[in-house]
Amino acid sequence: MRTINFDTLPGALMATRLPTVGEEGIGPGSCSSSQSSERLKKTGAGRKRLPEWFKTSLPVGKSQNRYNSTMSSVKENGLHTVCEEARCPNIHDCWGRGTATFMIAGDVCTRGCRFCAVDTAKNPPPLNSDEPDDLASAIEKMGIEHAVITVVNRDDLADGGASHYRECIMAVHDRCPEVGIELLCSDLDGNLDSLRTLLVGLPIRVFAHNVECVPRLDSHVRDRRASFSQSLEILAEAKKIRPDLKTKTSIMVGLGETDSEVVDAMRKVRSCGVDMITLGQYLQPGVRHIPVERFPEPSKFADWDREAREMGFSAVASGPLVRSSYRAGLLWEESTGSEPVVTRESTGSAVSHLTFPHTDGGQTI
């Protein structure tokens, strides 16, 4: 397996794939701040290296063949995925396992969260009526097994975009009934009626909605129309409407939170019946976005993984390079009783810092 060190990537690629922290570095009060600061060596004018654990690997064998096949399909058919456009460091791992992420309802959001690189506008372009069929065709051509469909906020629409999201998912299911679908949804501006209209009878495996950060940082990180409490309400209501679905959320760290706040946020999420959780390192998309405050070490992510499992989450992915859709298909399998994602053979290092004891009967956590 070949390893990629992101510190050696060309500047233009590095700027979009893995942004660096500001000149002030890691803020006081962060875990392992002195050790992490030592690792953030300058690489050029005003730039600093990311910690040594920000490396990933290329797939080999069958995973490499599947990744190559998916990439060829994407290029030949002129398809677009969030995986590519966001230059996700886990693209080889996920594509090598038959999972990909797509964004619908346009590429302009009505929210202005300070962590997000998506363009914003009060009145985005109209919805594309051909998008449901186009999305279904793209997923069919790629031959994937698990599709994550994510959305932009559409506060300009009366139902928050719910009816369009539903049309897109139904089109995918009609064309590719064997593909597992995960919806990473907006908060629909808190409209529970829209949520019900969206979810009743919707052919998905997972309903995901991200709380993004710990409650204290809401006003600093998220758009004023979003909040931790509203996100919890959406997740709790989704479970009431569709108790058969797995619910999922994600928390970013490195925004100025404390370790205890992360644990408390996980506990609040779990109290709403959320089944699955991912935790990952925030990375600053551009100079106008919130700077990174700290880089928790891999051992801290391992601690959060353990604590999340002790709280009763049925599936957990916790690591510096973990993103909300990381190994989404495998995480769903884990939530239904299969082997934990973290113990699966990895084509990347997003969770490779976590180790679990083996027994004759299999993996033990």
Q: Is residue 47 part of a domain?
A: no
CATH of the domain at 190: 3.20.20.70
The answer to whether the CB of 216 falls within 8 A of the CB of 257 is yes
**Mind listing the pLDDT tens digit for each residue in 104-126?**
998 889 999 888 888 889 999 99
290 or 23, higher pLDDT: 290
Q: Is the pLDDT of residue 347 over 70?
A: no
Q: Is residue 154 part of a domain?
A: yes
Q: Is residue 81 part of a domain?
A: yes
Q: How many domains does the chain have?
A: 1
Please state the pTM of the whole predicted model.
0.81
- The per-residue pLDDT for 26 is 31
Task: Give residue 271's domain range.
Answer: 60-357
**Mind listing the pLDDT tens digit for each residue in 242-294?**
999 999 999 999 999 999 999 999 999 999 999 999 999 998 888 888 899 99
Taking alpha carbons only, the member of 268, 277, 202, 211 closest to residue 247 is 277
Q: Is residue 72 part of a domain?
A: yes
**Mind listing the pLDDT tens digit for each residue in 86-100?**
677 778 878 877 888
- The per-residue pLDDT for 162 is 98
Q: Is residue 363 part of a domain?
A: no
Q: Is residue 8 part of a domain?
A: no
> Can you tell me the distance from the alpha carbon of 57 to that of 49, in angstroms, rounded to the nearest whole number?
18
**Backbone torsions φ then ψ of 358, nearest 5 degrees:** -105, 150
**Mind listing the pLDDT tens digit for each residue in 193-222?**
999 999 999 999 999 999 999 999 999 999
> Can you tell me the distance from the alpha carbon of 95 to that of 82, in angstroms, rounded to the nearest whole number?
12
Q: Is residue 37 part of a domain?
A: no
Q: Is residue 33 part of a domain?
A: no
Taking alpha carbons only, the member of 235, 209, 136, 241 closest to residue 178 is 136
Dihedral (Cα; 206, 207, 213, 215), 10-degree rounding: -130
The answer to whether the CB of 48 falls within 8 A of the CB of 76 is no
